[in-house]
């Protein structure tokens, strides 16, 4: 057609113009079909309510006290065109709900905690926890009853407001649980004396009873082994089993009955680190009703909280947070856990921006009240027995940042539980004993009361302890005055002496050249070098033996004998055994007048061949 258009045949001007218009129209229409798709995007109307009124992480640019429009739920759903799940639908098929209405303005107003208006802030806006609860873990190195009085007076001086008592097997349980208690368990009279002393020192008392995991003290025994969630691991109880549930209720009731006499505003049900769920027969059966392991766990936490609240009115239930964050928010709402418990977010790392990110807090944002939990001992490695204040002080410095940021997202940040673990679990070795860590607790408390890092300058602690305890691992200050201060000095002195011994064993060329394993086994070496080595062995052995003797004397004032034996066996026994073995070798070689010809190893034909394989 174009060829004809531009050909030589004569056509009228109007015909040619007509052809030109047609071509132009076709061209414009064709090019319009290749434009960007943005011009065809569906129009989305502007939301009829502010975005921050939907239950999502708050935008820091928007004031948290702005209220959403007063609209009915049906109108909101219709205008936003939300697909809201039917609450009567089978839970297995329920999708995650979007909450379109905030329950309460956050943070809550006109709240009084311990006689002070909430929130309590430093001049530069840092939150100061108004409940400062010190955790006492009695499943390792429990103390004699008279030590509690000194301890509670110390807590008053550092401005602690309460204690979290984890009795475990030191509580004098009766009935079926009587056979599981510690041989050194307190009598009921002693338990009441301890609680009276805490009350006398105006300390709020919170009992902690594990109700899901960390029940090794029961499940390790043959008579309770059938109640394990997993037959191989005595950690988690088969809580879906009726017999196990009855046992848990008995345990809760025995502890709560005595605590209620002295005030029990809070009760901690544990519920952390349940590594095995949905394995025992009863749990497999129950999952058919609850649909998932996570919902099974939430069902148990909910009924445990309900049992405590219904049996002991006016008591608020606490639970560790770590199992909750594995569940969907809609499932947590289904079991009404936001109405039943207050989660306690715990982490003992030095940098909580990494280990407790804001996303964790946001997973629990539907709870009105939350707690935090730091550590002052028992969280720097299962075999840490000496003082390492630096780790714990950094943990508390990081917690200041955490709860100052997070408290605005909740109605109330209830307080900080400062945990002092004695063991990582029932089977683990002893961690720091309480006297070794009291300076760390004092420094940590001063840090959170100031609301800022103190850069190794702790004047309140220095005045309280009559010394300036260093923050570095294994170092100590002399002349300190606090309950068990002599144990603090001896244990850290022991650590330093052991580090010197380990360096000597690894690096000394005379020791490794002339008093090696060959000398121990075959009693051959040079008298010249043995005489020199003997002086070094005694230089290391004598101080450690003196420390062992002094530690036993001081520890007997606070701890039971079996705990002292365990501590010395675990942390000093191996070094003393090695030193005594070297002494015996030195004595044998020093009295020898002759030695066999080489090869030494093969000269004793009665000795079995040396194995080169691990067994």
pLDDT in tens, 559-573: 999 999 999 999 999
Told to judge if 250 belongs to the known catalytic residues of this protein, a careful annotator would answer no
Q: Dump pLDDT digits (tens) for 413-435.
A: 999 999 999 999 999 999 999 99
Lowest mean pLDDT among 416-420, 451-455, 610-614: 610-614
> Cα separation of 297 and 320, whole Å?
13
- Superfamily of the domain at 112-466: Glycosidases (3.20.20.80)
C-beta separation of 431 from 422 below 8 A: yes
> Cα separation of 363 and 354, whole Å?
16
What residue segments make up the domains of the chain, in order of their start? 112-466, 492-591
Token pair in block for residue 381: 């490695």
> Cα separation of 91 and 68, whole Å?
29
In this prediction, residues 9-13 reach a mean pLDDT of 53
Query: Read out DSSP for 302-343?
Result: HHHHHHHHHHSTTPEEEEESTTGGGS-HHHHHHTTHHHHEEE
Annotated active-site residue in 150, 192, 250, 273:
273
Q: What is the mean pLDDT of the chain?
A: 86
Q: Dump pLDDT digits (tens) for 255-304.
A: 999 999 999 999 999 999 999 999 999 999 999 999 999 999 999 999 99
The per-residue b/e assignment along 275-304, b for 16 or more CB within 10 angstroms, e otherwise, is: ebbbbbebbeebbeebebbbbbbbbbbbbb
C-beta separation of 262 from 205 below 8 A: yes
In this prediction, residues 291-320 reach a mean pLDDT of 97
Residue 60: is its pLDDT beyond 60?
no
| pLDDT for 611 | 59
Q: pLDDT band at 521, cuts 50/70/90? A: very high
| pLDDT for 571 | 98
C-beta separation of 408 from 107 below 8 A: yes
Task: Look at the pTM and tell me if it is higher than 0.95.
Answer: no
Pairwise pLDDT comparison (552 vs 615), residue with the higher score: 552
Lowest mean pLDDT among 3-12, 150-159, 169-178: 3-12
Lowest mean pLDDT among 62-66, 233-237, 371-375, 380-384: 62-66
Residue 548: is its pLDDT beyond 70?
yes
């Amino acid at each position: 057609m174009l060829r004809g258009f531009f050909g030589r045949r004569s056509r009228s001007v109007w015909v040619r113009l007509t052809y030109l218009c047609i071509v132009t129209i076709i061209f414009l229409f064709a090019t319009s079909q290749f434009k960007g798709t943005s011009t065809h995007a569906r129009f989305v109307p502007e939301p009829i309510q502010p975005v921050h009124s939907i239950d999502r992480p708050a935008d820091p640019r928007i004031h948290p006290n702005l209220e959403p429009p007063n609209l009915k739920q049906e109108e909101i759903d219709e205008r936003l065109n939300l697909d809201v799940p039917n609450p009567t639908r089978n839970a297995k098929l329920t999708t995650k709900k979007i909450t379109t209405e905030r329950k309460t303005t956050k943070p809550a107003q006109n709240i009084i905690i311990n006689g002070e208006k909430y929130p309590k802030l430093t001049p530069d806006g840092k939150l100061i926890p108004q409940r400062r609860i010190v955790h006492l873990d009695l499943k390792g190195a429990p103390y004699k009853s008279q030590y509690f009085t000194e301890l509670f007076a110390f807590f008053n001086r550092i401005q602690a407001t309460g204690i979290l008592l984890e009795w475990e097997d030191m509580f004098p349980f009766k009935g079926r649980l009587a056979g599981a208690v510690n041989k050194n368990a307190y009598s009921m009279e002693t338990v009441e004396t301890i609680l009276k002393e805490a009350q006398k020192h105006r300390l709020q008392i919170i009992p902690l009873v594990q109700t899901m995991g960390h029940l090794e003290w029961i499940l390790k025994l043959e008579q309770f082994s059938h109640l394990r969630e997993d037959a191989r691991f005595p950690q988690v109880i088969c809580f879906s089993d009726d017999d196990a549930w009855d046992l848990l209720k008995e345990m809760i009731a025995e502890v709560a009955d005595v605590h209620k006499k002295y005030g029990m505003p809070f009760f901690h049900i544990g519920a952390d680190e349940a590594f095995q769920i949905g394995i025992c027969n009863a749990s497999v059966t129950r999952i058919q009703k609850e649909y998932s392991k996570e919902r099974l766990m939430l069902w148990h936490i909910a009924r445990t909280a309900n049992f405590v609240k219904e049996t002991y009115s006016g008591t608020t239930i606490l639970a560790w947070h770590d199992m909750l964050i594995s569940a969907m928010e809609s499932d947590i709402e289904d079991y009404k856990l936001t109405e039943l418990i207050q989660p306690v977010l715990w982490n003992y790392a030095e940098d909580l921006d990494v280990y407790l990110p804001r996303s964790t807090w946001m997973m629990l944002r539907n709870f009105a009240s939350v707690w935090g939990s730091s550590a002052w001992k028992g969280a720097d490695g299962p075999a840490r027995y000496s003082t390492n204040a630096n780790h714990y002080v950094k943990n508390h410095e990081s917690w200041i940042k955490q709860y100052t940021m997070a408290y605005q997202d909740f109605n109330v940040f209830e307080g900080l539980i400062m945990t002092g673990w004695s063991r990582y679990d029932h089977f683990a070795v002893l961690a720091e004993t309480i006297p070794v860590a009291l300076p760390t607790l004092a420094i940590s408390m001063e840090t959170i009361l100031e609301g800022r890092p103190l850069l190794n300058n702790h004047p309140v602690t220095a005045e309280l302890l009559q010394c300036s305890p260093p923050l570095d691992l294994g170092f100590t200050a002399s002349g300190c005055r606090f309950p068990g201060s002599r144990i603090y000095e001896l244990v850290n002195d022991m650590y330093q002496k052991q580090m010197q011994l380990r360096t000597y064993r690894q690096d000394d060329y005379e020791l490794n050249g002339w008093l090696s394993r060959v000398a121990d086994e075959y009693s051959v070496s040079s008298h010249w070098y043995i005489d020199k080595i003997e002086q070094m062995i005694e230089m290391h052995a004598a101080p450690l033996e003196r420390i062992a003797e002094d530690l036993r004397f001081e520890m007997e004032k606070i701890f039971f004998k079996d705990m002292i034996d365990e501590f010395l066996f675990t942390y000093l026994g191996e070094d003393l055994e090695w030193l005594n073995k070297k002494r015996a070798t030195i004595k044998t070689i020093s009295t020898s007048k002759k030695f066999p010809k080489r090869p030494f190893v093969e000269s004793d034909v009665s000795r079995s061949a040396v194995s080169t394989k691990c067994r």
